[in-house]
Chains A and B, each alone.
Chain A
């Protein structure tokens, strides 16, 4: 998955109509709630085999931070 595909996939994970970029602030998205965090956890595990915890998400501020966690 390249950086572009990651953004498209995140749009589906969050089911958002917003155009996402690496600077998008998670807190600014209406969709960013606890269920979306769980959806993101499942997405990272399924596609990158990376396990994250709720604690990780407290430190993440932007979409770029999630991408970094995925190793992109």
Chain B
């Protein structure tokens, strides 16, 4: 049984909807304090009203795709405000299916900012030992099964997630001697706002257990952030009901 205390603080990005929301709610349900980051205050407050212990949810409004260079200082500011962190769940991300002939460099860079550079620099801030609880602290990034096995039209998205998986593995190996763990969770199609009609049409008939739910992913994320996963690092867990 996984349990946390309210002194164990977790940063969850993209916490206002989808997988990020599910991760924030699950951590909170199990007793942890959650610093929930997203752009939309209204939706963050909506998430907070659904939580079991709303007094342990702290809302931070921030666009993580802006001033990425400053994200490590931002994590430090959060540490000064709340105290050191036990874990970081990088859940913010955007999805897009677009054929190669339609991709545009500026738009692709924007997608990489939120899917790749932002989690990398949040991780840089979190893993600064002045900001975390030391041994046993842990990072989980939401990547995608598309980062390992992709479909047509995923030039941008698969590239960003594949890069994230590789980078997190390198970071994990760098930090293993400090007992700080870093893992990725790679879901396939999950029923969220991000999964638009186009993605759903691609998915037809592909999932023997049906399209996934955010809670399925959240359970794995929470496990990896917990002490139960203490010897697990540098891994990428694919959650896709065997569809690949």
B-binding residues in A (CB < 8 A): 15-17, 31, 35
Contact = CB atoms under 8 A, between A and B. Distances in A.
A28 to B, nearest CB: 16
Interface string B200-236: 0000000000000000000000000000000000000
Contacts of A31: 129
A35 B174 contact: yes
B174 A17 contact: no
9 contacts: A15-B128, A15-B129, A15-B130, A16-B129, A16-B130, A17-B129, A17-B130, A31-B129, A35-B174
A35 B171 CA distance: 12
A31 B130 CA distance: 12
Contacts of B128: 15
Interface string B124-145: 0000111000000000000000
A16 B129 CA distance: 7
Interface of B: 128-130, 174
Nearest to B72: A12
Nearest to A30: B129
Nearest to B76: A12
Contacts of A15: 128-130
A15 B125 CA distance: 10
| Centre residue among A15, A17, A31, A35 by max chain B CB count within 10 A | A15
A54 B113 CA distance: 34
Contacts of A17: 129-130
A28 B129 CA distance: 17
A55 B89 CA distance: 39
B144 to A, nearest CB: 29
The 9 closest A-B pairs by CB, nearest first: A15-B128, A17-B130, A15-B129, A15-B130, A35-B174, A17-B129, A16-B130, A16-B129, A31-B129
A15 B130 CA distance: 7
Nearest to A35: B174
A31 B128 CA distance: 11
Nearest to B131: A15
Contacts of A16: 129-130
A35 B127 CA distance: 14
A15 B129 CA distance: 6
B135 to A, nearest CB: 13
Nearest to A12: B128
A52 B128 CA distance: 24
A1 B130 CA distance: 23
A31 B177 CA distance: 11
Nearest to B129: A15
